[in-house]
Amino acid sequence: MTDKQHITIKGVKEGLVFLLDDHCEFSVLLQELQYKLEKSHQQLLTGPIVHVHVKLGARLANEEEKDQIRSVIRQQGNLIVQSVESDMPEAPRIDEGNNIRVMTGIIRSGQTVEHHGDLLLMGDLNPGGSLLCTGDIYVLGALRGLAHAGTGGKTDAIIAASLLRPTQLRINEVISRPPDEWMTGDATMEFAYLNEGAMKIDKMSQLHRLRSHSFVFKV
């Protein structure tokens, strides 16, 4: 392992921030990341789940490189990658065929995201944050804010999340009851949907019962 350090790991309130050098070769960066996690930073790999935010500086990494970074970090059982972000501005990715908007990061308190179509958030929706769209909402992270799917009248829209703990869900004009009345408490990915005008919740593995067609997100 080289003496020059290209990765700085800092503890923050939300978890850990990995600051990656934006000048060294990408292969060197991956090698050092693997070394730090497996050899020199073993204390990070014990205890409860830790959320990780990766900062790339001015490096413009493609999706394949970002996936390689996520893969190395995810090999450690208690580390969950919340974001891999560059300081360079990046436009949201949209699949024009299905009008699926793909976002990464965190929607914080006071922030509202609106979209015409389906929305996939690879990150968290914090309390006080809002997602509104005419189609489905999928959150690969914790949904703890307000999510409104089917804003244009779509009654078969769904709202799904890895962790479903919202302040409020709304599908078309139907608003969810207080969470303690209908949450299952399961740690598996769940989704909310309408059944005879009432909001229901089920495991994501049961979505095929509502949707006969299949779909693939390219992220």
pLDDT tens readout for residues 105-129? 899 999 999 999 999 999 999 999 9
Q: What does the alpha-carbon distance between residue 62 and residue 52 come to, in Å, rounded to a whole number? A: 19
Q: Which amino acid is at 135?
A: G
Indicate the CATH number for domain 7-85. Answer: 3.30.160
Q: Where in the chain is the domain with CATH 3.30.160?
A: 7-85
Q: Where in the chain is the domain with CATH 2.160.20.70?
A: 93-209
Residue 45 has pLDDT above 70, yes or no: no
Indicate the CATH number for domain 93-209. Answer: 2.160.20.70
Q: What is the mean pLDDT of the chain?
A: 82
Phi then psi dihedrals of residue 103, to 5 deg: -125, 150
Residue 68 has pLDDT above 80, yes or no: yes
Write out the two tokens for 86.
Answer: 């560059």
pLDDT-above-90 percentage for the chain = 39
Q: What is the pLDDT of residue 182?
A: 54
Q: How confident is the model at residue 185 (pLDDT cuts 50, 70, 90)?
A: low
